[in-house]
Amino acid sequence: MSTQPITKKAIAYVTNKDELMVFTHTDFPEAGVQVPAGTVEESEEPSEAVLREIYEESGIKGVRIIELLGIYQYNMTPYRNEIQERYVYHLELTQPTPSTWRHWEMHPSTNKNPIAFDFYWVKLDSSNLGLAGGQGYFLSKLVHKIKNSGDSANT
């Protein structure tokens, strides 16, 4: 049995039709391509945390939760001594956004200085978008759902 602490995290798959919102760290490109995500605070539900994290990291408020795609555990070793219990949500954009934009997270948990993120949209045409840190765990499920909803809309 693991003695590692468990931390609840919320992960956002924000879609606009058949595109997924992703970002890279402006100053740390080695961190890879990511989606908005963060720690679920003690006083909040994962569904509240995912909306807060989207706003803090991207500046976007115009989203609505479609569904909880699932929950999984991810071992952060060797980067941190913790197991993350990840709540992955599919959200849909409800207001227009640029095709690319930069946003500064003003209250990052790991640093006192703002962190710049470069956001953009990628086509959801495969379940392997190379998301960093195991964030792509439920992408195949999302791709399947998007494809099937598009197929039913075309019939």
Catalytic residue numbers, as ranges: 56
CB of 58 within 8 A of CB of 43?
no
Identity at 45, one-letter amino acid code: E
- CA gap 138, 56 in Å, rounded: 23
Question: Beta strand pairing status for 115-123 and 100-105?
Answer: antiparallel
- CA gap 18, 124 in Å, rounded: 5
Q: Scan for tokens 């945390």, then name that residue.
A: 49
